[in-house]
Amino acid sequence: MTSNKCPDKIQVALATASPRRRALIQKIDCISPVFITTNAVETIKCGAQETAIANAFIKGECAAQMTDLPVLAFDTVVGLGDEVFGKPHDRASAIAMFKALCGKTHEVVTAVYFRVNGKIIQKSEKTLVTFGAFNEQLVYNYVDSGAPYDKAGGYNIDDAEIKPLIERVEGDYYNVVGLPVGLTEKLIEENLLNGEDGYSA
């Protein structure tokens, strides 16, 4: 969004503690984010998209109880076939995730929850990521650094240590980081800046 569309920024609550999402939301010019950390308990459904949508809703609804501002919430899940990969809880589970994902193409789904004046909009973005063959030294070093434990699928695509493992990314790169910037901009423009809900800039 260009600045001439939004001379006055609109405050929006962003329900996340993720430093990656907090950085990416700054790419959207028309809003001024107010960060809220929730104690939402995440769930796992049948499928990556279903899980991401359910968790984004849980986070968003928790945040909506804490503010009258429009609320954005996100959840990112890695899926491979019918298997859903959230955040690893220990070293063994992190290594197991890499062993499952290496040599294959997996999907990264980020769901967006957007609440404006009681209206809830939910959308999702999917990106395909292909890993090369399992590299024991690379994976073990990455896991032992502690990096995987707050990340869906056990990795952050921006981490330099993991980049040699990534062969191909098909779709929105930012979606893999955790916030689909293009989709989020579109939802804000259609539902917050069009004047229908009294927030027109």
Count of other CB atoms within 10 angstroms of residue 126 = 17
Per annotation, catalytic residue among 8, 29, 75, 144: 75
Per-residue DSSP letter, 146: T
Count the neighbouring beta carbons within 10 Å of the beta carbon of residue 156.
19
**With contact defined as beta carbons under 8 Å apart, do 195 and 116 qualify?**
no
Q: In the chain, which residue ranges form alpha helices assigned H by DSSP?
A: 19-24, 48-64, 91-101, 136-144, 173-177, 181-191
Residue 131 to residue 75: CA distance in whole angstroms:
22
DSSP alpha helix (H) spans, 46-180: 48-64, 91-101, 136-144, 173-177
Quick check: is 75 catalytic? yes
Nearest CA-CA partner of 54 in 28, 73, 26:
73
Active-site residues, by number, are: 75
